[in-house]
Amino acid sequence: MSERPGAELARRPLHFFLVADCSGSMAAAGKMAALNTAIREVLPHLAETSTRNPHAQVLVRAIRFGTGAAWHIEDPTDPETLAWQDLRAAGYTDLGAAIALMRAALTVPPMEERALAPAIVLVSDGQPTDDFDEELDALLALPWGARSVRMAVAIGHDADYDSLSRFIGNPLLEPVTAANPEQLVHALRWASTHVSRAASTLAPAGPPPAMIATAYTPRAGEEAVW
């Protein structure tokens, strides 16, 4: 067989965005520490998802939001090589600012023509304190924003489920919940796997485990910290 015409082939980029709530309330009851731990637990799973996918290369970015929003990881990064730096909690819950930041990343360029649908996971424990609705509408007005696959993780009973559901934008899906650190690991892992698989058009990740489903009620022996 002769050489294949054209330049090098490559798996298509799958941009994974983690949007993390770093508001002051996240400092309570060890939520921020639990989130940092959960992210470190989930990164190897993302790396495995990327490695085992023959046609998608997962690239991770992260946005933190409190009073305003900022890139925590700005460059698309291979999850296998990503060294996670701890997030710190302080300020308000400016989720709209985070969405605005992500919107800039989902324009063309910098988004590649050949990219797969972006995968976005939002983690929050409270209510947005800025113009989240307006910013979400603007995000969804972008072709890549509309194409993105989104999931949300609600931490504790104070999370704004309506906003998180609106962020997901799929009437068949609700936010997954975490009432303690263990559940946060499960919820973040499931959410990350779900959006990555859906964005790369592999078979769906299946329904979330009962322990992190929205209708979850702590059973005897289970701890509800948040």
Partner 1 sequence: MTATWTATAASERGSAHTEGVGNQDAVGSRTVTVGAAATPVLLVAVSDGHGGRRYVRSQAGSRLAVAAGLDALENAVRSCDVLGRHDASAATRRGELDTALRAAAADATQRWRVAVLAHLAATPFSEAERVSAGNALDRDPLTAYGSTLLFCLASGDWLGFAQLGDGDVVVRARGSSRSPVPGDERLVAGATTSLCLPDPVSDFRYAVLAPEDDIDLVLLATDGYGNAFASDQWRDDVVADIGAHVERNGHPSLAAELPGWLSDSARIGGDDVTVAVLVRQRTQAATMATAPLQRPAALGGTAPVAPTLPASRPSASRRGNRRTKVFFAMIIAGVVLGVAAALAALSRSDPPVVPPPKPSQTVEPSQVPSPLPRSRSAAQPPVPKPVPPPTITVPAVPSQRVSQGPASRGAPSGSATQVVVGPR
Rounded CA-CA distance 214/226 in Å is 14
Question: Cβ closer to partner 1: 28 or 146?
Answer: 146
219: number of Cβ within 10 Å: 8
Question: Among residue numbers 50 through 109, which ones bind partner 1 (CB under 8 A)?
Answer: 54-56, 108
Answer for which of 201, 218, 222, 223 binds partner 1 (CB under 8 A) is 201
Stretch that binds partner 1, among 92-100, 178-186, 196-204, 216-224 (CB under 8 A): 196-204
Minimum distance from residue 147 beta carbon to partner 1 (Å): 5
CB of 86 to partner 1, least distance (A): 34
Q: Which residues pair with 68 in a beta bridge?
A: 66
| CB of 136 vs partner 1, minimal distance in Å | 17
CB of 12: closest distance to partner 1 in angstroms? 6
Number of residues that bind partner 1 (CB under 8 A): 31
Output the CA–CA distances (angstroms, integers) from residue 76 to 86, 105, 142, 173, 192, in the order listed.
18, 10, 20, 27, 16
> Whose Cβ is closer to partner 1: residue 15's or residue 31's?
15
Which residue, 4 or 219, has its beta carbon nearer to partner 1?
4
Which lies closer to partner 1 via its Cβ, residue 27 or residue 202?
202
Residues 83, 48 contacting (CB under 8 angstroms): no
- Residue 63 main-chain phi, psi, to 5 deg: -120, 135
Q: Which of residues 121-180 bind partner 1 (CB under 8 A)?
A: 142-144, 146-147
Q: Which is nearer to partner 1, 54 or 221 (CB)?
A: 54
- Preceding omega of 5 cis (within 30 degrees of 0): no
Phi-psi region at 198: left, alpha or beta (left = phi > 0; alpha = psi -120 to 50): alpha
With beta carbons less than 8 A apart as the criterion, state whether 14 and 78 touch: no
Least Å distance, CB 107 to partner 1, is 10
**Cα 102 from Cα 146, distance rounded (Å):** 13
Mapped onto helix, strand or coil, the DSSP state of residue 141 is helix
> What residues make contact with partner 1 under the rule CB under 8 A?
1-12, 54-56, 108, 111-114, 116-117, 142-144, 146-147, 200-203
